[in-house]
Chains A and B, each alone.
Chain A
Amino acid sequence: MENKILTIIIEDEQPARELLKAYLQSHKEVELVAECENGFDGVKAIAEYRPDLIFLDIQMPKLNGFEMLELLDEYPEIIFTTAYDEFALQAFELNAVDYLMKPFSKTRFDQALEKVFSRLKNKSQQNPVVEKLKEQVRETAGPQERFFVKTGNHIDVIATDEIIHVEAQDDYVEFHTVKGRFLKKETMAQLEKQLPPDRFLRVHRSHIIRLDQMEKLEKYGKESYMVVLKNGDRVQVSKSRIKKLKEKLGI
């Protein structure tokens, strides 16, 4: 017997987990290594067991399925499960990912599993579909109220209201918050889309500030400006963006 396919179920409702387990009974080649009730446990379990396949519910407390994906460094094969979520279904359809709509039949379950098996056999590399899916979910989800930052095995939740300003650091963005600083692998352009535009403004190629955290706008030199924030941080404003900032402030 070759290696078994390692699987994790990530689902907050117990009956739904039971059903998946019952359906898995007939698939001896699959080994269930963990069951998780929420996304945080899911991230940890995936790091620990490095499964080949996960069953992932979209609507979960604290950290939903899509948010959980944001925190993964590499992706196992994923079969999404959801009862009803127009937005998720649209994203699934567009990106051709495997999903099961609750309630689903054993037949439907087996088909989804078959597809995964054949992909695993051909050992296709890093699942490119998930990247696309993530991007599309971000595009359509609009501004976020919270961000998740993973540092090693620890996950921090940052509420949008706690952010003072954000600074670009190579491939990362650094959140300066009331709780301290956090690094997340993300581009400034992407982040700009995820922050509510009425409260945040990109004032420089590598700076985004929260408008109500501004203490004052200082002019220094002929055409250059500095924003002084309430916590004392100073942020440079680029020439091209000064007009926009003044507009926002109504000056």
Chain B
Amino acid sequence: MLLNPLSKNKNYLLGYLSIWAVIIAVHTLILNFFYGINGSISLADSLVFNFSFMVAGYSLWYVIRFNLREKPSFIDMIFNHLLTAVVIIGLWLLLGYFSMKSLYGNHTDYLLFLKNSLAWRAVMGVFYYLLFIMFYYLILYYDDLQEKLKIESKLQNLVTQAELETLKSQINPHFLFNSLNSISSLTITNPGKAQEMVIKLSDFLRYSLSHDKNEKTPLQKEFENLKRYLEIEKVRFGKRLNFVYHIPENCYRYVIPNMILQPLIENSIKHGVYNSADEVQVEITCKEEKYDLVIEISNDYDPETIKPKGEGIGLRNIRKRLQLIYGRTDLLETKADKMVFTARLQLPKEQEDGK
């Protein structure tokens, strides 16, 4: 937020101006009553000194913004503010003093008062300055909090959405009913295998329904579930679907956002196996790099089939989710060469206890 919070809406500005109006009135009355300075001079003094601080205070916002443009250390910040305070209050006093002197230089009483009051005015200035700083920082803090809350709730929404998407795809009617039909067939031809498949399908659905929505899961768990899914699809498609995976032991302990691989695998099956009458290989590889875990999911596809143009909703959602979790947009890459489509995920390494 770059705009001065005071100019954000009319009421704030009005409030600001009326507070100053009150201060100007009180200031005038005090000079008039307690120091016996005549009315018009009191008013002029009050106007000159307060009006100039009103403007200075308004522009302090930009000083703070400038101060915050890169994360300064606490010491730097204090130093900056001291410097600013000295400069601003100094200028303010000089400006006030000389303008009043040029206006009412012939009133000796007042001039004496003006000189004597400079120390008090400086204290006032420091007080005003601190008030402004506090006010502005409070606003910044509050905005920051709001922003954080917004991101938080957005993330929550996306997770919920991802969860819904996964549920929808888990209970992806094609997948579910075709699997059930395969089971129905196996009960006649191969009851043992039918039972195995019922168990797999149940485990798969249970996992999809039960995992903790916000959390990341160890790769191992995610992968076991993927394997279940692929084995179920394997029963349907037989030799048309082959999958291989190269996942070194050391990758299993890292955590990844749950259900992030599922839509990628479904994409592979959809564009590879559903659209091709030939054998298709789906490949999952995982590499541990210095800071990242790199997971690649690739599948052959029939270049003769007409590809849908652009990225589907599924990929876009994964991207969005990664951006919210890791704050980066470059974690998912896809490329399609002549015969192979590859999705490449690059996730910062993290273990279960948050290391």
Q: Which residues of A contact B (CB under 8 A)?
A: 12-16, 18-19, 22, 37-38, 40, 59, 61-62, 83-85, 101-104, 145-146, 157, 159-160
A103 to B184, CA, bound (A): 7
Q: Given A13-B237, A38-B277, A62-B305 in contact, is the A19-B177 Cβ separation under 8 Å?
A: no
- Cβ–Cβ < 8 Å partners of B275 in chain A: 61-62
Tell me which of B31-39, B118-126, B185-193 binds A. B185-193
B277 and A19 contact, CB distance less than 8 A: no
15 more CB-based (< 8 A) A-B contacts, given A61-B302, A84-B177, A103-B177? A13-B181, A13-B237, A15-B236, A16-B185, A19-B184, A59-B274, A61-B273, A61-B305, A62-B276, A84-B174, A102-B180, A102-B184, A145-B306, A157-B304, A160-B306
Q: Identify the interface centre among B182, B185, B238, B273: most chain A CB within 10 Å of its CB.
A: B185
B272 and chain A: residue at smallest CB distance: A61
B306 and A83 contact, CB distance less than 8 A: no
- Count of chain A to chain B residue pairs whose CB atoms are closer than 8 Å in the complex: 75
| Distance from B196 Cβ to chain A, minimum over Cβ atoms (Å) | 13
Q: List 24 A-B contacts (CB under 8 A).
A: A13-B181, A14-B236, A14-B238, A15-B185, A15-B186, A16-B178, A16-B185, A19-B184, A19-B185, A22-B185, A40-B277, A59-B174, A59-B274, A62-B276, A62-B302, A62-B305, A83-B178, A84-B174, A84-B177, A101-B177, A102-B181, A103-B180, A103-B183, A104-B181
Q: Given A145-B306, A157-B304 in contact, is the A13-B177 Cβ separation under 8 Å?
A: no
A13 and B236 contact, CB distance less than 8 A: yes
A83 and B274 contact, CB distance less than 8 A: no
Q: Does B173 lie at the interface of the complex (its beta carbon under 8 Å from any beta carbon of A)?
A: yes
Q: Does B64 lie at the interface of the complex (its beta carbon under 8 Å from any beta carbon of A)?
A: no
| Distance from B307 Cβ to chain A, minimum over Cβ atoms (Å) | 9
In chain B between 76 and 124, which residues have their CB closer than 8 angstroms to a CB of chain A?
A: none
Q: Given A62-B305, A146-B306 in contact, is the A13-B182 Cβ separation under 8 Å?
A: yes
A176 to B154, CA, bound (A): 51
Contact of B178 (CB < 8 Å), options: A61, A102, A145, A157: A102
The list of the 5 closest CB pairs from A to B, nearest first, reads A84-B173, A19-B185, A83-B177, A102-B181, A15-B182
- Cβ–Cβ < 8 Å partners of A59 in chain B: 174, 274
A104 to B181, CA, bound (A): 7
A13 and B178 contact, CB distance less than 8 A: yes
- Cβ–Cβ < 8 Å partners of A101 in chain B: 177
- Cβ–Cβ < 8 Å partners of B188 in chain A: 18-19, 22
B193 and chain A: residue at smallest CB distance: A15
Chain B, 174-217, contact with A by CB distance < 8 Å: what is the 0/1 string?
Answer: 10111011111110110000000000000000000000000000
- Cβ–Cβ < 8 Å partners of B237 in chain A: 13-14
In chain B between 251 and 284, which residues have their CB closer than 8 angstroms to a CB of chain A?
A: 273-277
On chain B, which size bracket covers the interface? 20 to 34
| Distance from B130 Cβ to chain A, minimum over Cβ atoms (Å) | 63
B185 and A83 contact, CB distance less than 8 A: no
A61 and B277 contact, CB distance less than 8 A: yes
- Cβ–Cβ < 8 Å partners of A19 in chain B: 181, 184-185, 188
Q: Does B155 lie at the interface of the complex (its beta carbon under 8 Å from any beta carbon of A)?
A: no
Q: Identify the interface centre among A16, A40, A62, A103: most chain B CB within 10 Å of its CB.
A: A103
A37 to B273, CA, bound (A): 13
A146 to B39, CA, bound (A): 91
A159 and B306 contact, CB distance less than 8 A: yes
- Cβ–Cβ < 8 Å partners of A14 in chain B: 236-238
| Distance from A136 Cβ to chain B, minimum over Cβ atoms (Å) | 22
Q: Does B23 lie at the interface of the complex (its beta carbon under 8 Å from any beta carbon of A)?
A: no
- Cβ–Cβ < 8 Å partners of B306 in chain A: 145-146, 159-160
A146 and chain B: residue at smallest CB distance: B306
A37 and B277 contact, CB distance less than 8 A: yes
Q: Does B324 lie at the interface of the complex (its beta carbon under 8 Å from any beta carbon of A)?
A: no
Q: Does B235 lie at the interface of the complex (its beta carbon under 8 Å from any beta carbon of A)?
A: yes
- Cβ–Cβ < 8 Å partners of A103 in chain B: 177, 180-181, 183-184
A13 and chain B: residue at smallest CB distance: B236
Q: Identify the interface centre among B176, B182, B276: most chain A CB within 10 Å of its CB.
A: B182
B177 and chain A: residue at smallest CB distance: A83
Q: Identify the interface centre among B186, B238, B274, B306: most chain A CB within 10 Å of its CB.
A: B306
- Cβ–Cβ < 8 Å partners of B302 in chain A: 61-62
Q: Given A15-B236, A61-B277 in contact, is the A83-B305 Cβ separation under 8 Å?
A: no
A16 to B176, CA, bound (A): 14
A13 to B178, CA, bound (A): 9
Contact of B181 (CB < 8 Å), options: A15, A40, A85: A15
A18 and B185 contact, CB distance less than 8 A: yes
A160 to B306, CA, bound (A): 9
Contact of A16 (CB < 8 Å), options: B182, B274, B305: B182
